Structure 1
Amino acid sequence: MQPRNMSMSGAVDLSAVKAAAEAKQKAEQARAQRAAQPGGEAAAAAPLVIDVDEAGFEQQVLQRSTEVPVVIDFWADWCQPCKQLSPILERLAEEYAGKFVLAKIDVDANQMLFQQFGVQGIPAVFAVLAGQALPLFQGAAPEPQVRQVLDQLIAAAEQRFGIVGQPVDPAAAAAAREAGPPAPPVNPALAAAHAALDAGDLGGAIQAYENVLSEEPGDVEAKLGLAQAKLLSRVQGADAESVRKAAAERPGDVQAQLAVADLDLVGGHVEDAFGRLVATVQRTAGEDREAARLRLLELFEVVGAEDPRVSSARSALARVLF
C-alpha cells in the first residue's frame, strides 16, 4: 500500500483545532506546573513509545498532547506493512528524544478508537496536538518521508501551539517503558479500609469503604471492597445447615433465600447464588422483589462485571424484570 497524505500542508488549519493562543497558554501552564512540582524533571524518564488502549487514551494521549506532539500508530499483529513501519516510528521516537511521543494502538483490541478516528486501513498514522487529532499518512513509508512529516509536525506544534515537548534521555525512556506505567498514588483512606478488611475488622472496613465512597462515589475498588466486607459480615457465624434448612422449608421467605445465596457465593457456587436470586425476583413483588434485586446487584460487584457468569445472570434478571 502506498502512503497517502504525507504532507503536513494545511493540516493544522482544521476547524476543530482550538485557537492557537489558547493552546499555547495551556502548554506554558503545563510546563510551569511540571517545573514547580518537586522532582519535576522526573518526567524526563517517561517512555517515548507507549502502548495505549481505550481506557488510557484520555490521559496518555489527549492530556499529554498539551505538552508534546503525540503521534499515533494504528497497527495490528497480522498487518505486514505495520511490521515495516512501526520499527521506523519507534526508532525515530528514540532519536528525536522527546520532541514527540509515539502512541501505539492495536486496532484489534481497540475497535472504538479505530472507528472514532475514521481509519480506513492500516498502518495509519495520526497526530494529536492540544487535544485535536489530524491525519498524517496511511500505509508503510520509507524513513526519509516519515522524517519529513515528523519535522513538519514538530515545527507546526511549536509555531502554532507553543508545544515543544521536553528533552528526554532515550536510555531512561527505554527503561521507563520496560518498567511499565507508574503505580497510581495510594489513597490513604482506601488503604485503611483494605487493612481493616484483611484484619477481619468487618465493621471497621464497611465504615471505611463507605467513607471513601462518600468522597469518591465512582471508586470501583472501594465498591468492590464494600460489597466483599458486607458479604463476609452477613455470613459470619452463620450455621450453614440451619440456613439452608430454613430456605428449603420457607421458599417464600425472601430473607432466607438471600442468606443461602450469600453462603453459596462465599462457597464458590456462583451460578447457584445468582440463579436463586433471579428466581426469587421472578416470583416476588414490591419490597421483596426489590430486596432480592439489590442483593443480586451487590453480589455482581463481588464477582466482577467482567465475569461471564455475571453477564449471563444480568441477562436472566432483565428477562424476569421486563
Structure 2
Amino acid sequence: MAGAVDLSALKERADAQRQQGQRPTRPQPEASPDGSAGPPSTAGPDTASGDAVMDVTEETFESEVLVRSQQQLVLVDLWAEWCGPCKQLSPVLESLAARAQGSWVLAKIDVDANPRIAQAFRVQSIPMVVAIAQGQPVAAFNGVRSEAEITQWVDDILAQVGDALPGIAPQGEAEPEPDDPRMVAAEDKLNGGDFEGALADYRAIAEAEPDNVEAASAARNLDFVLRAQAHDPAIVDTAAPTDVDAQLAAADVLLLAQQPEQAFDRIIGVVKVTAGDDRTRARTRLLELFELFDPAEPFVVSARRKLATALY
C-alpha cells in the first residue's frame, strides 16, 4: 500500500503545535470500565529506541511513528474500546512486539479518540494494522490473525525494507515483488479503451481483497470518470436547485473539469434544501467524491465542515 496513504497532514498538525509553543505529550490511556487501559497490554522490556508498545495520539504521532519509523519498523494497531476482535488481536501484537528485540515496535491508536489518524489511514473497519517504514505505510491487514500469520507477515516486510532502516540488522536483499497479473490485465484493458472491462476487473479484485488499496482506488476513479463523461455538460447551467439527480450530475461535470470546490458546494446546497432519502443520497454521493482525494486537501477539509453545518 506504499504511497496510497498520505500522512503529511498529521505531521503538519504536530509542526503547527510546536510553532504555537505546545509541547506534545504522551498521555496515559484512559481506563476502561474493567479498570484496564484499552485492550490488555502484555508489553515487555524497553527496546533501544523506547518501549516496545506505545499508546499514540494525534499529538505524538509524528515523533512516535513517523520519526521512529526512519530507524525501525513501526506497526500501527488501530483499535477501539467497543471492538471485540481488537481485544483478541492486540494482546497477540503486544506479545510479539515485546519479543521482537527492537526489530519493530507497536504503536496503539484508539480511533475514537484520534479520528484524524483514522481518517488519514482511511479506516473502514477495525482492527486494522498498518506497517510504517521511513514515514510511509508499506503493508496493512484487517481483522484478527494468528501469531504465526503475523510473524510471517512481519518477516516478509522486514525482508523488503529492513536494509533501509538503520536500527535493524540487514535482512538480505529481497526479491522484487512481481506485478499482479490481474492488475496488469485491468490496466491493459484500460489502455486499450475497454473502460467497462477494466472497471469490472478492478472491482472484482477490490471485492476479493478488501485491503487492495490500489484496486479500490482505480475502481473508484474509473467509475467516477465514466459516470461524469456520460452527463451533458450543459446540466451545470440548467439543473434546478431542487432536482437532486440533476445537481448530482452537475457536481460530477464540475469535478471532472477540475472544479472540486464548486462541485462540493452543489451537493451541499442539495443537502440544505432536501430531507429524508434525497438528503441521504446527496450526502452519500458527497462522501464518495471525497474518497477521490487526499483527505488533507484544503478543499476537502472545508467541504466536510460545510457538510457538517448543513446537516446539523
Shorter-chain TM band: 0.3 to 0.5
The TM-score with structure 1 as length reference comes to 0.45
| Higher helix residue share | 1
The TM-score with structure 2 as length reference comes to 0.46
Structure showing greater Rg: 1
